[in-house]
Amino acid sequence: MIPRSVALFCLAVLASLPAWPAAPEPPMQPTEITSDPFESRSTDTEMFTLCTGSVTVTGTNIRIVCDRLEIVSLRFGEKDQVIAKKNKFKSLIAIGRVKITQGDREATCGRAVVLPGEDKITLTETPMVEDKGAGATWLGENLVLLRGERRVFGDKVRMILPPVKDLSFDKNKPLTPPPAGQPAAPEAK
């Protein structure tokens, strides 16, 4: 038998340990955007960028391909600079044949609104999300993806999941009584 003082000490040590560590974040990568035509203009507080043609965005654990990309960045720094030393993405709106890849999750739609400050991507215009790791696909009127969560939600969603084995019975197999001591199933009324 373990002395009570030793058991209490062990419990105190266990309680003081940090929670199980979360999966490590992928290393930060610069965001790179390529497109055929490109146009950018700025105000004192925001920078507006329009990319059209074959648009590709790559960054930390994300790749977006689309026909048109509208970007709004918040400006920090000197107001007289054409490009501020620091910008923070406020929104990215991808339009036309949108394909977003994040790890083993892939989304397609006609329009995607990426809000980095809210850690949210909203997909509309025939959206579909396929989670290859889970073997699941979601379709709906609009679908929402949240950063750090393997979660999809939206409106009028249809979900396709891996098959479940046949749980029916063999009607040709004779019925066997339950083992001794186990109650019989109630009769159907």
Position 188 in a domain: no
Position 59 in a domain: yes
Average pLDDT (172-179) is: 82
- In this structure, what token pair is assigned to residue 77? 């720094």
Count: domains in the chain: 1
Position 117 in a domain: yes
Looking at residue 182, its pLDDT comes to 75
Element (H, E) at 75: strand 62-76
Position 15 in a domain: no
Instruction: Look at residue 79 and tell me whether its pLDDT is greater than 70.
Output: no
pTM of the model: 0.72
Interval 103-147: pLDDT, tens: 899 999 999 999 999 999 999 999 999 999 999 999 999 999 998
Position 21 in a domain: no
Average pLDDT (69-82) is: 76
Please name the amino acid found at residue 103.
G
Domain residues for the domain of 104 are: 26-160
Looking up residue 111, the CATH number of its domain turns out to be 2.60.450.10
Bridge-based pairing of strands 105-115 and 86-102 is antiparallel
Distance from C-alpha of 5 to C-alpha of 10, rounded to nearest angstrom: 9
The C-alpha R_g of the chain, in whole angstroms, comes to 27
Position 174 in a domain: no
**Which one has a higher pLDDT value, 87 or 30?**
30
Percent above pLDDT 90 for the chain: 50
Distance from C-alpha of 122 to C-alpha of 143, rounded to nearest angstrom: 6
